[in-house]
């Protein structure tokens, strides 16, 4: 792909300048790519009706063609224009969580391009809760397909600078609306079956879903089991969210994890290598003053504050790349609430390399 003169425009995240939004929407309507903030992470947008622009998303990211996209809408009623039919659970969940970090997988309408769905009979749709995103979609006049605005497999971007690092020269415009709020992607829920199935945990917890619709199951792929058929959602099939250095997820008590981090950090130091650790506060407090010079420590949050951990996770993983560590050690919060999403991202960042300690 030839290098493009990528522009970066700052935009007020609460009251986006209408002129900037019109300019960005015009780029989308002309077949261009625009990166923009949502409440979860930055998205890389193309008009969902433009097949060539959709293919450009895959090229810019280096994204596998069998990894479906999420279509973003500005109003709840637009869901009906993208779906062949709508199960009752779809409206129940949309009324409760839209706008917000919830994506619904529904039967696909005939007019939805194959490029947006990886050829699947379903389509993933969400309504973001961010003024810039919603204004841009509204001005574009159609749904906007938008995966995370990063190189495929890398930690998702939570700032415009993250997007610039990965996609400068590959997209026409980056809208800088400051850091995102949630910090991990939306929860993806398939509502096409007899009961909802979580394909990707995210900013809406399984517990919150169950409070509305009763039984909710979690796809085995969330736990690293082999996929039964093609990926029905982004984040299911490939190693994702990964730093450049190999990563290892440690599981156990904070004391056991801290001991193992110290062992591995000093072992690496004796070999002239540097370790980075991304851990919870409980492990972090046990590591202070015990790591060799050159080791990097990033503390996300207390184990009982998974929302804060989610907000900080991708920034911490990208810091490991900027600081050039040779190995990354991870420790996750409990698998409840948004903590399930944080654990999922760490598992995938580590390529499912897990050590029980």
Task: Take residue 19 and report the two structure tokens written for it.
Answer: 């002129």
- Segment 111-117 shows an average pLDDT of 96
Residue 164 confidence class, pLDDT cut points 50, 70, 90: very high
Nearest to 187 by CA among 162, 171, 206: 206
CA distance 25 to 74: 13
- Segment 100-120 shows an average pLDDT of 96
237: pLDDT strictly greater than 90: no
pLDDT of residue 190: 97
**% pLDDT > 90, the chain:** 91
pLDDT of residue 54: 98
pLDDT of residue 232: 72
- Segment 300-305 shows an average pLDDT of 95
pLDDT of residue 118: 92
**What stretches of the chain adopt beta strand conformation (E)?**
7-10, 34-37, 42-47, 70-72, 102-107, 122-126, 144-145, 173-176, 187-190, 197-200, 217-218, 247-251, 275-279, 296-299, 327-330, 354-356
Residue 241 confidence class, pLDDT cut points 50, 70, 90: confident
Nearest to 121 by CA among 132, 110, 129: 110
Secondary-structure breakdown of the chain: helix, strand, coil percentages, each rounded to the nearest 5: 35, 20, 45
pLDDT of residue 41: 98
Task: Please give the DSSP secondary-structure letter assigned to residue 53.
Answer: H
Contact 116, 48 (CB under 8 A): yes
351: pLDDT strictly greater than 60: yes
pLDDT of residue 233: 72
Range(s) within the chain of domains with CATH label 3.40.50.11030: 247-356
CA distance 277 to 292: 12
CA distance 345 to 239: 9
| Tokens 């020269």, residue located | 169
Q: How far is CA 315 from CA 137, 157, 278, 321, 345, in A?
A: 27, 8, 10, 10, 13
1: pLDDT strictly greater than 80: no
Q: Read off the pLDDT of residues 179-234 as tens digits, 9 standing for 90 and up.
A: 999 999 999 999 999 999 999 999 999 999 999 999 999 999 887 765 666 767 77
CA distance 298 to 290: 14
Classify domain 247-356 at the CATH topology level.
Rossmann fold (3.40.50)
pLDDT of residue 2: 66
Q: Read off the pLDDT of residues 57-90 as tens digits, 9 standing for 90 and up.
A: 999 999 998 899 999 999 999 999 999 999 999 9
Instruction: Write down the mean pLDDT value for the chain.
Output: 95
CATH number for the segment(s) 7-223? 3.90.870.10
């Amino acid at each position: 792909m030839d290098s493009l003169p990528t522009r970066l425009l700052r935009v007020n995240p609460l009251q986006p300048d209408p002129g900037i939004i019109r300019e960005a929407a015009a780029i989308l309507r002309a077949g261009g790519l625009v990166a923009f903030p949502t409440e979860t992470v930055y998205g890389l947008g193309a008009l969902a009706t433009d097949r060539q622009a959709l293919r450009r998303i895959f090229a810019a990211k280096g994204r596998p063609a069998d990894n479906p996209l999420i279509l973003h809408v500005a109003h709840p009623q637009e869901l009906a224009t993208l779906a062949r039919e709508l199960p009752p659970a779809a409206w129940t969940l949309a009324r409760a969580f839209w706008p917000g970090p919830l994506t619904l997988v529904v039967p696909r309408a005939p007019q939805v391009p194959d490029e947006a769905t990886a050829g699947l009979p379903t389509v993933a749709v969400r309504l973001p809760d961010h003024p810039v995103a919603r204004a841009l979609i509204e001005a574009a006049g159609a749904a906007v397909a938008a995966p995370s605005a990063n190189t495929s497999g890398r930690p998702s971007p939570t700032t415009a600078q993250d997007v610039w690092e990965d996609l400068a020269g590959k997209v026409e415009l980056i809208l800088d609306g400051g850091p995102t709020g949630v910090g991990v992607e939306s929860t993806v829920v398939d509502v096409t079956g007899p009961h909802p199935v979580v394909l990707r945990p995210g900013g809406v917890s399984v517990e919150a879903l169950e409070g509305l619709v009763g039984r909710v199951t979690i796809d085995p792929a969330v736990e690293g089991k082999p996929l039964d058929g093609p990926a029905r959602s982004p984040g299911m099939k490939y190693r994702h969210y990964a730093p450049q250095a190999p990563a290892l997820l440690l599981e156990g008590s904070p004391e056991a994890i801290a001991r193992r981090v110290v062992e591995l950090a000093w072992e690496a130091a004796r070999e002239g290598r540097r370790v980075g650790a991304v851990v919870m506060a409980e492990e972090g407090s046990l590591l202070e003053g015990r790591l060799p010079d050159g080791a990097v420590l990033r503390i996300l949050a207390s184990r009982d504050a998974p929302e804060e951990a989610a907000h900080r996770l991708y920034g911490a993983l990208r810091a490991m790349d900027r600081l050039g560590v040779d190995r990354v050690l991870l420790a996750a919060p409990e698998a409840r609430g948004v903590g399930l999403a944080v654990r999922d991202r760490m598992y995938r960042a580590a390529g499912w390399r897990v050590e029980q300690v």
